[in-house]
Amino acid sequence: MSRWIRFALAITLGMIGGLLYGWWGNPVTYVDTTPDSLGIDYKTDYVLMVAEAYSAEADLEAAARRLALLGGESPQESVNQAILFAERQGYTDADVATMRKLLGDLQLYLPAAEGTAP
């Protein structure tokens, strides 16, 4: 085997080692994440919490402020996505209805963005 082939093999081995170490041995860790990086199930529960709080407080601005943490195009869109996920996953009717109420009020009083839950 020529010296260059062995050299290339050594580089390849090193790369594999580096990748293994970088991805599994000591991967980049995120400890200070933001709510917009949450998984969809957690986002949905977050939206449900906002809707539950809204049902008692009736403070739409506070709800919109809380939803803004999730990023996304608009609060309506965040709620819409949450409703779609909740329906797919079989959340209770009461939970979905709570979120729908919030979505309806958001569309009514904050109609700047679109919300298109069926």
Partner 1 sequence: MRENRGPWYLLTGLALGVILGLGYAWLVQPVRYTDTTPASLRADFKERYRALIASAYQANKDLVRAKARLGLLGDPDMYRALAEQAQRTLAGGDPEEARALGLLAVALGPAPPTLAPSPSGSPAAPSPTGDITATRTITGSLTLNPAASPAQTTTPGAPANLPGPTAALLTPLPTFTPLPTRTPTPTPGAPFVLRIQEQVCNPDLEEALIQVQAFDASGGPVPGVEVIVSWEAGEDRFFTGLKPELGLGYADFSMEPLTSYALRLAKGGQPIGGLTAPECEAQGGERYWGSWSLVFEQP
Rule CB under 8 A: say whether 35 interacts with partner 1. Answer: yes
Q: Which range in 48-56, 73-81, 107-115 contacts partner 1 by CB under 8 A?
A: 48-56
Name which of 85, 110, 111, 105 is nearest 96 in CA terms: 85
- Site size toward partner 1 (CB under 8 A) is 52
Q: By CB under 8 A, is residue 91 in contact with partner 1?
A: yes
CA angle, 47 then 115 then 91, to 5°: 40
In the complex with partner 1, which residue's Cβ is closer, 7 or 109? 7
The closest alpha carbon to 43, from 80, 98, 94, 88, belongs to 80
Binds partner 1 by CB under 8 A, chosen from 64, 83, 86, 117: 86
